[in-house]
Amino acid sequence: MEKRWVWPFELLDKIGEGGMGEVYRARYVGNNRRVAVKLLPLNAAENKTLLARFEREMDVLKQLDHPNIVRCFGGTCESKQQFYAMELVEGGTLSQLIHLKGRLSWETAVDYAMQMCDALQYAHNHGVIHRDIKPSNFLVSKTGHLKLSDFGLITVSTGRRLTATGRTLGTVEYMSPEQIRGNPLSNRSDLYALGCVIYEMLTGQPPFLGDNQPEIMHKHLKDPIPHASRKHIEIPLELDTLICDLLAKSAEARPESADRVKQRLQDILQPGRRVVAVEPTLVPTRSSMPTSVVPLKGMKESSDSISFLPAPSDSRARAAWEWGLSIAMMVFCLIGWGGWKASESRMLIAENALVEQMAQPDPTAQLFAINTLAKFSTLHSETIAKLYAATKDGPENVKVAALGALARHANESRGIRWEIYKLQRNSDVSSNVRNQAEQTFNVLNEASGRSLLQSLMSWGIYLVVFSAIATGGWFVWQRIRAQLEFA
């Protein structure tokens, strides 16, 4: 590449471009430091509005000093070539990272979103509305540090308006409804775009897509808010709720500030748990035990030191150990029960979400929900009823998938095997549905035949395991008691 200069910078290679200019990796001749230089195209310099935006972007960036906002080192807008220099972030953009990975884990997305909130809150505190929040405007360092860039479309509360009322500027996939209508913007307009970015980090695509810009704009204005957790069930419902709040059609319904959004993100990433302080069970020490010594049978009393411990005058030490062990066992059981209930609750939430997805008119969504439910270890009776209902109505492939899911959960579906038998005899349904119904009926019939034997075997195994645990626990407890009595 032929050397290009915008003194005192040597331009090395282009690393980005957009409607407001081109960005080059450059070398500062003063100390050989690598920086990024943003150039306004020569033909764009004749446009007074673009020139004013470029100049204002440079002036505002020089005033913003925050670790999550790209630092501006200055430039010029007086000569024929307008440019300014800023810090160079080598890791690429968030958009490139999402494209590379497909989507980010919800923990990573929350961490990035909190950094975005820090940048937005700082900008909003200085009266700056970005107006073009999107993944390609967030630079990611190699250490995972996020920096907000491209302030070409900003609105400054004290500055001169450069966009006529009623005009729409920005990126349609991330535009708030008020921005689409050309209405006055506020800090909450940036928060709407933030919700779109969080949704894209979690799912790999923006919340509203279409074949053209008017279609996407219409969806921002009228379509219901999509739920990220319905696409990926591991996403916490609290995070899904926060996204829905950020994507509210009315600006007043959104969170009041980026700081408030960050607080909710912190609660999701590190949920506050109520810690119950348990007073420790005090055990008498040797120094607090009686000093009188009872010699063992056959031993003579002596003035010499005795090698065994003094016996307690009462049972307080033994009672303390018994209470301590009992409390520890109770706490262990409660922790295990709580973990099991939490896991069961999480699976129930996921199961209910998939049942709701089955009710959607889209056959693809129904198939995804049914096939996912088929992989669950157990299902509730209400879900079995929904799967059976899906065998009656809907497309043929949905009916076949629902019958297959019932066969996978034969133990829970035994009660409807005669309804499946009637379905396989129904000449009004297709041959594929009848064949699958026949296979499902055979599986349910076998499950019903062996259910009694399985129940007896299960109870027998439970009885043996419980007896073994109880016997082992009794022997351990007796040994502990013997040691405590000796001590």
Mean predicted confidence (pLDDT) in 366-375: 82
Decide if pLDDT at 458 tops 70: no
Cβ pair 95, 176 in contact under 8 A? no
Decide if pLDDT at 294 tops 70: no
Cβ pair 153, 132 in contact under 8 A? yes
Count CB neighbours of 451 within 10 A.
13
pLDDT tens digit sequence for 35-66: 988 888 777 666 777 778 778 878 888 888 99
Amino acid type, 112: Y
Q: Between helices 396-408 and 363-374, what is the axis angle to 10°?
A: 10
φ/ψ of 158, rounded to 5, equals -100, 5
444/407 Cα distance (integer angstroms): 7
Cβ pair 232, 207 in contact under 8 A? no
314/402 Cα distance (integer angstroms): 68
**SS3 assignment, position 269:** helix
Cβ pair 145, 278 in contact under 8 A? no
pLDDT score for 484: 52
Please, which pLDDT band fits residue 270 given cuts at 50, 70 and 90?
A: confident
Mean predicted confidence (pLDDT) in 244-258: 97
pLDDT score for 309: 34
283/12 Cα distance (integer angstroms): 74
pTM > 0.75: yes or no: no
Residue 30, judged by CB atoms within 10 A of its CB (0-12, 13-18, 19+), counts as: exposed
Please, which pLDDT band fits residue 454 given cuts at 50, 70 and 90?
A: low
Cβ pair 117, 65 in contact under 8 A? no
**Mean pLDDT, the chain, as a whole number?**
78
Q: DSSP for 107-138?
A: HHHHHHHHHHHHHHHHHHHTTEE-S---GGGE
Decide if pLDDT at 271 tops 80: no
Decide if pLDDT at 16 tops 70: yes
Residues annotated as catalytic are: 132
pLDDT score for 311: 38
CA 467 and chain centroid, separation: 43
Q: How far is CA 164 from CA 50, 120, 338, in A?
A: 13, 24, 58
Amino acid type, 389: A
Cβ pair 247, 192 in contact under 8 A? yes
pLDDT tens digit sequence for 155-198: 654 444 444 444 446 789 999 999 999 999 999 999 999 999 99
CB neighbours of 324 closer than 8 A, spacing ≥ 6? Answer: 281, 283
pLDDT tens digit sequence for 115-143: 999 999 999 999 999 989 999 999 999 88
> How much of the chain, in percent, has pLDDT values that exceed 70?
73
Q: Which fold has domain 4-86?
A: Phosphorylase Kinase; domain 1 (3.30.200)
pLDDT tens digit sequence for 331-370: 776 776 676 666 667 677 877 888 887 777 778 877 888 8
Helix H or strand E encompassing 413: helix 410-413
Q: Which residue has the higher pLDDT, 470 or 285?
A: 470
Please, which pLDDT band fits residue 387 given cuts at 50, 70 and 90?
A: confident
Count CB neighbours of 126 within 10 A.
15
Token pair, residue 431, equals: 């041959």
pLDDT tens digit sequence for 89-108: 988 999 999 999 999 999 99
Does residue 382 come out as left (phi exceeding 0), alpha (psi in the -120 to 50 range) or beta?
A: alpha
Mean predicted confidence (pLDDT) in 278-294: 35
Please, which pLDDT band fits residue 450 given cuts at 50, 70 and 90?
A: low
Q: Which fold has domain 94-155+168-269?
A: Transferase(Phosphotransferase); domain 1 (1.10.510)
194/99 Cα distance (integer angstroms): 18
Please enumerate, as own/partner, the contacts of 244-252 that have beta carbons within 8 Å and a separation of 24 or more. 245/195, 246/191, 246/192, 246/194, 246/195, 246/198, 247/192, 247/195, 247/196, 247/199, 247/207, 248/192, 249/177, 249/221, 250/177, 251/176, 251/178, 251/186, 251/188, 251/189, 251/192, 252/188
Cβ pair 199, 228 in contact under 8 A? yes
> How much of the chain, in percent, has pLDDT values that exceed 90?
32
